[in-house]
Amino acid sequence: MLICPDYLTGIPGGFLIKPLIGITSNTADDDRIGLITRQGAKKQEWQLLADDYIKSVERAGGIPLIIPVVKKLSSIARVLDLLDGIIFSGGVDIDPYYYGEPPGYGLGRVEPERDRHEIELGQKVLYEMEIPVMGICRGIQLLNIVAGGSVYQDIRLDREHSFNHGMLDIAPKDYLAHEVSIKPGSLLHSIFKAERIRVNSFNHQAVKELGKGFEVSMEAEDGLIEGIEMAGERFVAAVQWHPEMLIDKYDYYLRFFEAFIEASTRYRQQQG
């Protein structure tokens, strides 16, 4: 009996190495993270990522790899060369400096080192590499800003007639808060095979001015942008909601990750 290692996927005529997927991490200077979990000491800073992202990539057939925030992008150049796909994960607000605005009253916490790192990383990934790209929550905002777009610093203050999109302290992670419409013919439509689906909602910011090269493919009932993608054959798609938080209860939402992993697998094959 032939045993296939976990990092190999059986295919007709042989085996294919699973795609390596980078996932951006969060930074935090709150030492309570280590003290409460008894994994650290006072005055320690942390880099961390919710397990939902790891599970989603693994369950969809990829190999997850957490990308740290570094001082110089050259420090992880070798890692980037190995990646077959990258996910820009969720997190705190992005400094409005990067889209040409002063800070507004509704702006939340920012992490300057993560902003600096991810803006540079996003520019490299979008414009110097060809790997598939996925963005989630902060990730959609980051990619949009890299492409020259902007975000609402606070939906409640900056956008009239929007409903409550910030359910973080109100609902569990897998609560389907509202509907979104999906543009027929879009990549996201081909993935979810529906024109309307329900999603969770944990954001107080969202895409405002669309970045160059992106198209809107998903909107909330109040017209807020919930999904964008780049035209062309390359997989570059991002959503404002959190599909990784839904997969344990609803297998349906794993489709986003499965399509991304399929695209990353094709990319690996094309590289030989």
Query: Both tokens of residue 175?
Result: 């609560």
Rounded to whole angstroms, the Cα distance separating 244 from 55 reads 8
Rounded to whole angstroms, the Cα distance separating 76 from 129 reads 14
- Comparing CA positions, the residue from 206, 208, 202 lying closest to residue 243 is 202
Catalytic residues: 137, 242, 244
Tell me, what amino acid is at 146? V
- Strand partners for 206: 152
In eight-state DSSP terms, residue 68 is: P
Rounded to whole angstroms, the Cα distance separating 119 from 2 reads 45
Rounded to whole angstroms, the Cα distance separating 241 from 137 reads 6
Pairing of strands 196-199, 206-207: unpaired
- Strand partners for 178: 199
Q: 10-49 burial by CB neighbour count: b if 16+ within 10 A, else e?
A: eeeeeeeebbbbbbbbbbbeeeeebeeeeeeeeeeebbeb
- Comparing CA positions, the residue from 219, 228, 214 lying closest to residue 135 is 228
Pairing of strands 20-24, 63-67: parallel
Pairing of strands 133-136, 85-88: parallel
